Amino acid sequence: MSLALRTFRNRFVFIADFLIIFASVLGSYALRLEYLPDFMRYYVQGALWLIGLSLIIKPAAYYWLGMYRRIWIYASINELKLIVSAVTLAWLAVSAAFLSLYGLGVVGPGFPRSVLLLDWLLSLILVGGSRLALRTLAETATPRRNGREKKILVIGAGDAGALVVKELQKNSQLGLAPVGFLDDDPAKQKHQIHGVQVIGPLHSLAHMLDLYQVDEVIIAIPSAPGKIVRMVADV
């Protein structure tokens, strides 16, 4: 990915986070209160303070924790953990500041305590959703290769095999479609990895090549024994 494109996407995420702050705070009050005039009469001052504090603290916390230095189209479980920790720490800082000002009588006569918890929950959903949307859009926009895709059979349904299939699915422009795994582990038979089924043991290679009209075989076993390499070469 080019630096310019990455910068553009991070700016989009930064702007989205500002909009999310408004949506999260106002959404929290909307979920908590059933009667709009009550909000306008009693709670609008507190809501404005909560929005103002969030606009200052949350983006600063996200930046400090590295949320704007990630390439979200490659998001994994590590990025999910980062989102949870960043949103939670930012929310704790905002809540502490807001409650301190409330104790000093600055933010208004009162506020529903559950609004703060709802703000955390909505922030988590919306911040995570915006990053997931970037990844989904990037995968959807990936250009596909013209013509028939080559059918790929993967030898080995371990970590390496799962990584191979994930990369082939992500890079559809390569025109390589995994149709199945072969693995000798009985516990893996008929199970799926990234939507691709373990279709049989290694000795069924010749049969599976004909059955699935396989074009290419990828050996995804680190330090594969010579007999496996020879078996693939001889078929």
Structural domain spans, the chain: 3-141, 150-234
What confidence tens digit (pLDDT) does each residue in 62-97 have? 999 988 887 777 777 888 999 999 999 999 999 999
Residues 180, 185, 186, 191: what is their CA dihedral angle, to the nearest 10 degrees?
Answer: -40
Average pLDDT over residues 140-155: 74
pTM of the model: 0.65
Cβ contacts of 231 within 8 Å, gap of 6 or more: 202, 205
Average pLDDT over residues 35-56: 83
Gap between the Cα atoms of 31 and 122, Å rounded: 10
Distance of CA 107 to the CA centre of its chain: 36
- Residue scoring higher pLDDT (172 or 210): 210
pLDDT of residue 103: 87
Q: Which fold has domain 150-234?
A: Rossmann fold (3.40.50)
Gap between the Cα atoms of 70 and 60, Å rounded: 15
